Amino acid sequence: MIVADKKPVEEIIEYVKDCQKILVLGCNECVTVCEAGGKKEVGVLAATLRMYFSNQGTEDVQVDERTLERQCDHEYLEEIRDIADQYDAIVSIACGVGIQFTAEKYHSIPVYPGVNTCFLGVTEQRGLWTERCQACGQCILAYTGGICPVARCAKRLFNGPCGGSSKGKCEINKELDCAWQLIIDRLKAIDRMDLYEKLFNVKDWSTDRAGGPRKVEREDVQI
């Protein structure tokens, strides 16, 4: 899932302090799971903003709440078509994708981010999310025991660990696992150490961000 973290309230207040009618817009998908932008967080942020405006004596500011199934699909974003125009600002607490798509769709309304979008990751435990994928566009997990050296090795190495690997940890942080140690442990566990002996060709990074914004186009599913 896409992992996001809450923005400091002070930063959000700075965006909307001069607005009269604000919509806090949440998303029911990834940001709900990582507890940064779901229905509950919409409630907390909207209540916080309402209390802020009351404390400031600006009694007539209206802060409304809405949570969409997704903010990255036309059909769900259309659900606020009939109400969007009445707002001076939308604070979207979806991931960066949702925030941008909302801004694209409602061209004349300022859309502000309520979260910092961080990475593609997993919930290791409640309140702890870690990165697993960098969406490089050319998956090599079949050869690395299902552990990605692009996302998890600080140097993105493809042919074994560097000299900084010590006792299974990375030199940049003693708490960070060395990705190649994990890969070797896993290859041993599945009895595929032959894959470790195989040299990787130079990776084609044109599918990564180096080639600019990317797109996936599939005619077979297009209508």
Contact residues for another protein, defined by CB under 8 A: 8-10, 13, 40, 43-44, 47-48, 50-52, 54-57, 59
Whose Cβ is closer to another protein: residue 50's or residue 70's? 50
Whose Cβ is closer to another protein: residue 45's or residue 68's? 45
Cα(14)–Cα(18) distance, integer angstroms: 9
Cβ of residue 67: shortest distance to another protein, in angstroms? 13
Helices (H), the chain: 9-16, 30-33, 39-55, 74-77, 81-84, 96-105, 149-152, 179-189, 194-197
Which residue is listed with tokens 């896409």? 2
121 neighbors 141 (Cβ within 8 angstroms): no
Give the Cβ contact number of residue 217 at 10 Å. Answer: 6
Cβ of residue 11: shortest distance to another protein, in angstroms? 10
**In this structure, what token pair is assigned to residue 103?**
């801004």
Whose Cβ is closer to another protein: residue 40's or residue 209's? 40
Closest CA to 8 of 115, 166, 92: 115
Cβ of residue 57: shortest distance to another protein, in angstroms? 8
What single letter denotes the amino acid at residue 37? G
Cβ of residue 111: shortest distance to another protein, in angstroms? 22
Query: What 3 state SS string does 185-196 have?
Result: HHHHHCCCCHHH
Cβ of residue 115: shortest distance to another protein, in angstroms? 16
Whose Cβ is closer to another protein: residue 8's or residue 212's? 8
Whose Cβ is closer to another protein: residue 43's or residue 96's? 43
